[in-house]
Amino acid sequence: MDNSTNPALGQQLLVFRPQQLVDAQVLIRAVKGNQAVVLDASSADDGEAQRLIDFACGGMEAIDGQVHRIDAETFLFSPARGRVEHWPLSA
C-alpha cells in the first residue's frame, strides 16, 4: 500500500494494489479503521480483479462503508462517516 497525506485535510488516503483475494480483507479492515482507500485492481488478472472488487464491495455493505467507482478497475472505498463529493468536470 502507498500512503498519501493531504496536509490541508489532515486525512490519510491509502492506495491499494492487491494481487489476490485475501488482500481485500486488508482493505476492509482499513476502511473499518476510518481510512479511505483507493483500490487499483489493474495489476491483478481480470478474474481475480473482479473477485477482489466484489468481495470489497460486499465488505463495505457489511460495515456501512461507501463505494465510489473511479474507472473500470479503480474504486474509492470510504468509511460511513467519510464525505466524498463528486465535482462535475467542465471546461
Q: The domain spanning residue 41 has which CATH number?
A: 3.30.110.150
The pLDDT of residue 90: 62
The pLDDT of residue 91: 54
The pLDDT of residue 3: 43
The answer to whether the CB of 75 falls within 8 A of the CB of 52 is no
In a domain, 83, yes or no: no
What is the extent of the structural domain holding 14? 2-78
Q: Name the grid cell of 44.
A: 491483478
DSSP strand pairing (11-16 vs 36-40): parallel
Total domain count for the chain?
Answer: 1
Q: How many CA atoms lie within 13 A of 19 on its CB side?
A: 1
In a domain, 86, yes or no: no
In a domain, 57, yes or no: yes
The C-alpha R_g of the chain, in whole angstroms, comes to 13
Residue 16: name the closest of 66, 73, 60, 72 by CA: 73
The pLDDT of residue 38: 96
Q: Which residues of the chain have pLDDT under 70?
A: 1-10, 89-91
